[in-house]
Amino acid sequence: MESEPKPGGLAAIKRLGPYLRPVRGRVIGSGAAVLCSMICGLAIPLVVQRILDGPVAERDTSGLPWLVLAVAALGAAEAALFFTRRRLISGPSTRVEAALRADLYAHLHRLPIAFHDQWQSGQLLSRAVADLSTIRRFIAFAGIFLVVNSLTMVIGLGVLFFLDPVLGAITLVCSLPLIVICTVFESKYSVLSRRSQDQDGDLATTVEESVLGIRVLKAFGRGPDLARRFAEQARELRGTELAKINVIAVLWCAIIMLPELGIALQLLIGTLGIANGTMTIGTLVAGITVAVFLRWPVDSIGWLLAETNQTATAAERYWEVRDAEVTITDPEHPRHLPADGRGLLRFEDVRFAYPNGSEVLRGIDLEVRPGETLALVGATGSGKTTLTALVARLADVTGGRVTVDGVDVRDVPLAELREQVATAFEDAVLFSASVAENVRLGCPDASPDDVRTALRIAQAEKFVAELPWGLDTRIGEEGLSLSGGQRQRLALARAVIGRPKVLVLDDPLSALDVQTEAEVEHALRSVLSGVTALVVAHRPSTVQLADRVALLDGGRIAAVGTHSDLLATNAAYRNLLSTMDAEERTRV
Ligand SMILES: Nc1ncnc2c1ncn2[C@@H]1O[C@H](COP(=O)(O)OP(=O)(O)OP(=O)(O)O)[C@@H](O)[C@H]1O
């Protein structure tokens, strides 16, 4: 996922404006506090000049206590204002980070499956965590100091010109090359910064995939291969980080050398001026003190520019996700599913093509009658999963329409549609939460009784009761501590708990033994007799439990009928069934 930075990284930072607006008072207050603190620091050399050219030069200490008090007061104010800055900014910066993160997370949920198919999860993870931390640091520190330190440099130069125009001119001339060097640095560093942040995302993807797929990797002994790939990616990232360090090192060299050169020149010219009587000792010491005070604002510029660059890249990466189009949205003129509808599911001349592929479905006409269980069979890759995804609008048809009780699913508010159409997938994903919480994902308002009924329907009640804390047992990340069959039964319970009118099961029974599978199907049919079910079947045993079977071939429904009719009349169906049979025997 590597890409060169687009021009306008600063525009990406500017777009964060609406998030900063509610806290702008505190951000400006924090900037003002640190600027005043800097001004206090810059005023101290002016008092020092008075002390040297007054009490010290004239050996008269009468005015000394007030001048010393002024230095102490300015020092105390400088410290207090610095403290105020930190107190003012810490709340707003973390609040902006939290709001950006919450909006990103909500957007990720609204984005269609097609988006998630194309994006590596590690890239999303690094944007949601690392990039947003970079943005927070910028708001709390780098952004404010970039402005304040630039102003301090201008004010400091003004003070130097006020003290002595020659001292001011020396500092100015020594600072000008820095602007050229910083511009060159800017363009080089932004390319490297983007590369390293993308490589960081790739690294996160590898870690995440390895952890999720740890069983497969162990079973196939592929751990060392992955470790090598990880080491290679880590090496690439290290290379980019080293290149970044090299660029910064050149910048730092200039940033340190030029002001030192300036101080040396000030000492030379100043000493000659004192010898000629054109400058006082107080002015020279004050000038040098101001030049030394300006070291931090000047020194920090390199680092602050690096942070700004990194933030521009982070903001760009953030907006890339936020700008991704939400293609599956609520209809403008919603229609509701009829309250007395019984779940008549129809596919009318349905066509579908993936954005980067050819047409998978080429005119599907199919009806699943209310209360009927229809098994969908077809060769691998024939489009069964794709077809099932269209019912709950996990993807939208590219032609034709899908209707539930006569209403186009695209006209139904998404929340209502997904309440009435429940889907259980082949890959039973469970979350790090209790059994009850996992089941309740299908219907957040469900009572404990509803949870138990759903578990009973899915034939999961018995094994859940045997878990150490029953319904409250937390199941590990993705439910890894449960067997495949147990996970699928929980996923099934989650699908039925909301008592949907239409149930779409994408082969959710594949990991169950034949006996348990039959029990689950039997329970499903007896308890939810009013449900219309579309079941992707990979096993003859599942097919036999359905009322009718549809054969998907070449992007069309090649045949529909009862299992026995199709067996008797359709050669392609017989062939497919014998393949399924052979596969099932090898599995047993
Ligand atoms: N996200 C995607 N982008 C592009 N093509 C895809 C995508 N997902 C699936 N396909 C392609 O669409 C076709 C149908 O895939 P689908 O998963 O619907 O088939 P299936 O019949 O469910 O297969 P199986 O029986 O193996 O589960 C396949 O050729 C597949 O490669």
Closest residue (by CA) to atom 3 of ligand 1?
A: 354
Of 3.30.460.10, 1.10.3720.10, 1.20.1560.10, 1.10.10.10, the CATH number of 9-322 is 1.20.1560.10
Q: Provide the 3-class DSSP secondary structure of residue 501.
A: coil
Which atom, in ligand 1's list, is nearest to the CA of 506?
Answer: 22
Report the nearest atom of ligand 1 relative to the CA of 552. 21
What pLDDT does residue 242 have?
93
How many residues make up the chain in this entry? 588
Nearest CA to ligand 1 atom 17: 385
Judge if the beta carbon of residue 384 lies within 6 A of ligand 1.
yes
Supply the angle between the helices 143-163 and 165-212 in degrees, to the nearest 10. Answer: 170
Q: pTM for this one?
A: 0.73
Q: Choose which residue among 377, 384, 505, 535 to substitute to test ligand 1 binding: the one with the highest number of ligand atoms within 8 A of its C-beta.
A: 384
Residue 360 Cβ inside 6 Å of ligand 1? The answer reads: yes
Answer whether 211's CB lies under 8 Å from 327's CB. Answer: no
Summarised one tens digit per residue, pLDDT across range 515-572 is 666 666 666 665 456 689 999 988 877 787 788 999 999 889 999 999 889 888 988 8
Q: From the CA of 381, how far away is ligand 1's center (Å)?
A: 5
Q: Judge if the beta carbon of residue 233 lies within 6 A of ligand 1.
A: no
| Nearest in space to 126 (alpha carbons), one of 45, 37, 205, 59 | 205
What is the reported pLDDT for 518? Answer: 67
Question: Quick one: pLDDT at residue 191?
Answer: 85
Q: Indicate the DSSP class of residue 442.
A: T
Predicted local confidence at residue 327, as pLDDT: 87
The set of residues, in sequence order, having a beta carbon less than 8 Å from that of 328 and lying 6+ positions away, is 112, 393, 394, 395, 396, 414
Rounded CA-CA distance 347/354 in Å is: 18
Cβ-contact 125, 167 below 8 angstroms: no
State which of 117, 360, 535, 538 you would mutate to test the pocket of ligand 1, scoring each by most atoms of that ligand within 8 A of its C-beta.
360
Among 131, 130, 190, CA closest to 10: 190
In this structure, which residue's CA is closest to atom 16 in ligand 1?
Answer: 383
The Cα–Cα gap between 422 and 533 comes to 10
Give 53 Cα–ligand 1 centroid separation in angstroms: 86
Give span(s): CATH 1.20.1560.10, the chain: 9-322
Place of tokens 């939208």: 396
Cβ-based burial of 535 (10 A; exposed 0-12, middle 13-18, buried ≥19): buried
Q: For residue 382, which atom of ligand 1 is closest to its CA? A: 21
CB 378 less than 6 A from any atom of ligand 1:
yes
Does ipTM surpass 0.90 in this model?
A: yes
Structure tokens at 178: 């820095």
Say yes or no: CB of residue 66 within 6 Å of ligand 1.
no
d(CA 522, CA 517): 8
pLDDT at position 423, please?
A: 87
Residue type, 238: R
Residue of 118, 382, 552 best suited for mutating to test ligand 1, as the one with most atoms within 8 Å of CB: 382
Q: Which atom of ligand 1 is nearest to the CA of 507?
A: 27
Closest CA to 112 of 431, 395, 321: 395
Phi, psi angles (nearest 5°) of residue 403: -125, 150
Parts of the chain belonging to CATH 3.40.50.300: 345-587
Euclidean distance between CA atoms 126 and 321, whole angstroms: 12
- Atom 26 of ligand 1: nearest residue by CA position: 380
Tell me which residue has its CA closest to atom 24 in ligand 1.
Answer: 380
The answer to whether the CB of 116 is under 6 A from ligand 1 is no
CATH 3.40.50.300 for domain 345-587, yes or no, is yes
Q: Which of 574, 514, 571 lies closest to 542 in space, CA to CA?
A: 514
The low-confidence residues of the chain, meaning pLDDT below 70, are 1-8, 476-480, 508-530, 583-588
Which amino acid residue places its CA nearest to atom 28 of ligand 1?
381
Distance from CA of residue 75 to its chain's centroid?
Answer: 44
pLDDT reported for residue 7: 43
Report which protein residue has its CA nearest ligand 1's atom 23. Answer: 381
Ligand 1 centroid – CA 486 distance (Å): 26
* Alpha helical stretches, state H, 111-164: 113-118, 121-126, 132-137, 143-163
Tell me the CB-side half-sphere exposure of residue 24, using CA atoms within 13 A. Answer: 7
> Which helix (DSSP H) or strand (DSSP E) does residue 208 occupy?
helix 165-212
Whether the CB-CB separation of 63 and 54 falls below 8 Å is answered with yes
Of 131, 134, 135, nearest to 204 by C-alpha is 131
Quote the CA–CA distance of 298 and 519 in Å, as a whole number. 75
DSSP assignment, residue 346? E
Does the CA dihedral 379-383-387-393 come out positive or negative? positive
Asked if 388 and 398 count as a contact pair (C-beta separation under 8 A), the reply is: no
Q: What pLDDT, on the 0 to 100 scale, is given for residue 583?
A: 66
User: Using CA atoms, how far apart are residues 547 and 371, in angstroms rounded to an integer?
Assistant: 10
**Environment class of residue 290 by beta-carbon count within 10 Å: exposed (0-12), middle (13-18) or buried (19+)?**
buried
- Tokens describing residue 582: 């052979």
Q: Which atom of ligand 1 is nearest to the CA of 387?
A: 18
State residue 399's pLDDT score.
Answer: 93
